[in-house]
Amino acid sequence: MAHTETVRYSVEDGIALVRIVNPPVNALSAAVRAGLVEAARRATDDPAVVAMVIAAEGRTFIAGADITEFGKPPVPPILPHAIAALEDVPKPVVAAIGGAALGGGLEVALGCHARIAAPAARLGLPEIKLGLIPGAGGTQRLPRLIGAVAALRLMTDGSPIDAAAALALGMIDAIAEGDLLPAAIARARALAASAAAPRRSRDATSLGPREAFEAEAAALLGRHADNPSVAAAIEAVRACYSVPFEQGMEQERAAFRRLLDDPRSQALRYVFFAERASARVPRLPPGTAARPVTQAAVIGAGTMGGGIAMCFANAGIPVTLIETSAEALASGIERVGSTYDISVRRGSLAPEARAARMALITGKVGLDAAADADLVVEAVFEEMALKREVFAALDCIARPGAVLATNTSYLDVNAIAAATGRPQDVLGMHFFSPANVMKLLEVVRGAATSAEALATAVQIGSRLAKVPVVVGVCHGFVGNRMLAARSVQAERLLIEGALPQDVDAAITGFGFRMGPFAMSDLAGLDIGWRIRKATGKTAPVADALCEAGRFGQKTGKGYYLYQPGDRTPRPDPEVARLIEAVSARLGIARRPIAAAEIVERLIYPMINEGARILDEGIAARPGDIDVVWLHGYNWPAWRGGPMHHADSIGLAEVAARLAAFAAQSGDASLAPAPLLQRLAARGEGFATLREAAA
Ligand code: 3HC
Ligand code: NAI
């Protein structure tokens, strides 16, 4: 039977040892659940067994329910029943927690009569991150065991805690001093020897006063008013006070099942798998090894270069920060120092850690300082001639095998690579601003980039705690190319009748933290203006703002007005007049535009561009595009990313609206892209492509 492979049962000296072997993370698949029920039965029925120990092989204890089973018809035994079977064993059952006990994994441990953990174990209820609540007794057993307030905090925060913290809370009974398994067996034996009946978490009486729970619940609801999982977790824990355990379990299950079907949870589960899939580099020959990186160099100590140098220092990698003059270098290093100072003042960075990180950053003038680096990241001005000059120089300076990366936002990585005699070592490493904060790293694969260089960039990205996504060469790669499609529409909406605050409100209403115009004011309007002037392009509203000296926050006014020392964007009647004048000049009769139309006008052209990006092979999977938007542009995770969002609406609807926009505006680029049309005609979604790619 399948479960005999994933759950191994043996008896030695009266102790039934149950070992879960379900790599990679011992998720509670149907076979594991069945194996646990079978083990409970055997241990109960075997008179030679005095106690049972549940352990797991590998780095994790149990990472939780098998998320791949969610959304499919449940296969019995369901997890709450499997856990009840363990809890009902009339002999002591001890959980030996060697690694992560998460979600259903912690719930299994809570169903045992005692818990002993290795010092490195981590315990938590991360269901909230998947838009869920614990669904196998976590909301009923944990509050009774450690108190409702502490339990509610854990399940609404979702982050795991370490063994020491779990012990302090009373979540586990002991931390193993030496080897875990012998310690767990010894404890099981001791419990069996004592006359006491097995201690069930459901009978624990540490719930704590209801007033404290209600105060915590009110505070949480205030902070997370728009998160249905938080409300559901509160409701479920509240049941501990009002109804018997079994009824509480039923209420928990009902809420869990309801949330499973919620589009938010579907999106968050999609994101979980998209993030993991994006870490797998497409078309990489098996056995490709990343090159070791022990020393890095960053060229240009400006906005991006300083932030990128911080990323290396934060990861403990020595980095040389290179500038053209001592003055530019000094101000770059000073900016890095003051960014760290903010963290020290906030208490998120210890002064010693600040000193250690600064010590890893060595400032140097001149490119020769890049000679020892295993990886060089260029972050000089966005000018092709300059970048080619820098790469040609690096070709003579850098050691053989060094990976040479450019942080260019838009430029042709192949043209930059061609300035060297080693294009196989050249690629893009596109960080996002602020580089020390934003998680996304677009790794741009050039036509000649070698598999090893690519693997090196991806691996170093993970070491820098970034989310690396491999993309191909095109203007703006994945993120900025789609952003450009949105920006064009945002400008048009202004000319047709909306004001910046209308557009931004529609987009924050959709779930973004910031609208496109507040974002432009933050980034500065002058750079785009200069590029447009150089390339003969226009954007009537943005150009008019720049001509009026409105460059955004840096000049105290842009699309909005800013009070000195205050970053709050305030609508400005002068901007409204300026926009109305542009509409009049272009002969456009302004009209009210509803928030729903604004959202469609901004998001659907991005999806269309995403379809082109997929068709051209610039991104390998729709999920990669979604990961780019989630981690580079703060796309709301519960909407899963633009491509998932398109699927959730239905591609036929998206295509029809795009066709209508194209007809209204006469802009053929808005017509649904061929891939979008093909999928829509077949009634399929982008997810079909994801499956094909995998
Ligand atoms: N179900 C199915 N697959 C899972 C899984 C799960 N719960 N957790 C991880 N995996 C898979 C990943 O998709 C990945 O697969 P891949 O190799 O094919 O891409 C593989 O396991 C390894 O995962 P990671 O790359 O994330 O490995 P790490 O070592 O970096 O992290 C981990 C390990 C900390 C356990 C992390 O995987 C994790 O956080 N997992 C999810 C934990 C979770 O959310 N648990 C709650 C589930 S919901 C639940 O339990 C409901 C219950 O209350 C009823
Ligand atoms: P910046 O103007 O702040 O900094 C550029 C720095 O490069 C300056 O300090 C300059 O002195 C230095 N520099 C110029 N030539 C040099 C040379 N030959 N050797 C050493 N240093 C030299 O520019 P920023 O914003 O940091 O951008 C740098 C690169 O990063 C550009 O390619 C840009 O497109 C890209 N980028 C910018 C983002 C942003 O939001 N600012 C986001 C992502 C990428």
What are the pLDDT digits (tens) for 151-204?
999 999 999 999 999 999 999 999 998 999 999 999 999 999 998 889 999 999
Active site residue 616: no
Sign of the C-alpha dihedral computed for residues 550, 551, 553 and 558 taken in this order: positive
Residue 302 lies in a domain: yes
How far is residue 373's CA from residue 381's CA, in Å, rounded to a whole number?
21
Residue 247 lies in a domain: yes
Residue 239 lies in a domain: yes
CA neighbours closer than 13 Å in the CB half-sphere of residue 201: 34
Residue 677 lies in a domain: no
**pLDDT at res. 413:** 98
Residue 307 CB burial class (10 angstroms; 0-12, 13-18, ≥19): buried
Neighbours of 421 (CB within 10 A): 10
**pLDDT at res. 691:** 62
> Buried b / exposed e across 82-95, counting CB within 10 Å, b at 16+?
bbbbbbebebbbbb
Strand-pairing partners, residue 56, are: 20
109 and 195 within one domain: yes
CATH assignment at residue 370: 3.40.50.720
Neighbours of 4 (CB within 10 A): 12
Question: How far, in Å, is the centroid of ligand 1 from the Cα of 63?
Answer: 6
145 and 10 within one domain: yes
How far is residue 548's CA from residue 361's CA, in Å, rounded to a whole number?
41
- Identify whether the C-beta of residue 14 lies closer than 8 Å to the C-beta of residue 50: yes
320, 331, 380: residue to mutate for ligand 2 pocket, most atoms within 8 A of CB: 380
Give the pocket of ligand 2 (CB within 6 Å): 299-305, 322-324, 328, 332, 379-382, 386, 390, 407-409, 431-433
Which alpha helices (H) appear in 297-364, and where do they start and end?
303-314, 326-346, 351-360
Q: N- to C-terminal Cα distance for the chain?
A: 29
Per DSSP bridges, beta strands 93-97 and 100-102 are unpaired
Cβ(24) – ligand 1 distance below 6 Å: yes
Atom of ligand 2 nearest to the CA of 322: 20
Residue with tokens 């009923």: 140
- Identify whether the C-beta of residue 336 lies closer than 8 Å to the C-beta of residue 298: no
Look at the pTM and tell me if it is higher than 0.85: yes
Residue 649 lies in a domain: no
Q: What is the DSSP letter of 295?
A: -
- Identify whether the C-beta of residue 622 lies closer than 8 Å to the C-beta of residue 643: yes
How far is residue 236's CA from residue 139's CA, in Å, rounded to a whole number?
6
Instruction: Give the chain's residues under pLDDT 70.
Output: 1-4, 691-694
Per DSSP bridges, beta strands 467-472 and 51-56 are unpaired
Q: What type of residue is 191?
A: L
533 and 459 within one domain: no
Alpha carbon nearest to ligand 1 atom 33, residue: 25
170 and 71 within one domain: yes
> Buried b / exposed e across 357-380, counting CB within 10 Å, b at 16+?
beebbbbbeebebbbebbbbbbbb
504 and 470 within one domain: no
- Identify whether the C-beta of residue 502 lies closer than 8 Å to the C-beta of residue 575: no
184: its two tokens: 């767990």
Question: How far, in Å, is the centroid of ligand 2 from the Cα of 561?
Answer: 28
- Choosing from 38, 87, 107, 609, which is the catalytic residue? 107
Mind listing the pLDDT tens digit for each residue in 79-134? 999 999 999 999 999 999 999 999 999 999 999 999 999 999 999 999 999 999 99
Domain finish residue from 476, 511, 544: 476
Residue 655 lies in a domain: no
Active site residue 547: no
Q: What type of residue is 512?
A: F
340 and 306 within one domain: yes
Interior angle at CA 394, CA 393 and CA 399, nearest 5: 135
**pLDDT at res. 692:** 60
How far is residue 516's CA from residue 611's CA, in Å, rounded to a whole number?
22
Domain finish residue from 566, 585, 604: 585
33 phi, psi to nearest 5 deg: -60, -45
DSSP string, 110-149: HHSSEEEE-TT-EEE-GGGGGT----SSHHHHHHHHH-HH
**pLDDT at res. 693:** 55
CATH assignment at residue 248: 3.90.226.10
Question: How far, in Å, is the centroid of ligand 2 from the Cα of 380?
Answer: 4
Residue 690 lies in a domain: no
Cβ(67) – ligand 1 distance below 6 Å: yes
Residue 625 lies in a domain: no
344 and 309 within one domain: yes
Alpha carbon nearest to ligand 1 atom 54, residue: 135
The residue segments making up the domain with residue 453 are 296-476
435 and 558 within one domain: no
How far is residue 416's CA from residue 404's CA, in Å, rounded to a whole number?
10
Query: How far is C-alpha 283 from the chain's CA centre?
Result: 24
**pLDDT at res. 257:** 96
Domain finish residue from 236, 260, 284: 260
508 and 442 within one domain: no
Q: What type of residue is 27?
A: A
Mind listing the pLDDT tens digit for each residue in 261-301? 999 999 999 999 999 999 899 889 999 999 999 999 999 99
**pLDDT at res. 694:** 43
**How many independent structural domains does the chain possess?**
3
511 and 385 within one domain: no
CA neighbours closer than 13 Å in the CB half-sphere of residue 681: 7
How far is residue 196's CA from residue 176's CA, in Å, rounded to a whole number?
22
Beta strands in 163-314 (DSSP E): 174-175, 296-299
CATH assignment at residue 529: 1.10.1040.50
105 and 12 within one domain: yes
176 and 82 within one domain: yes
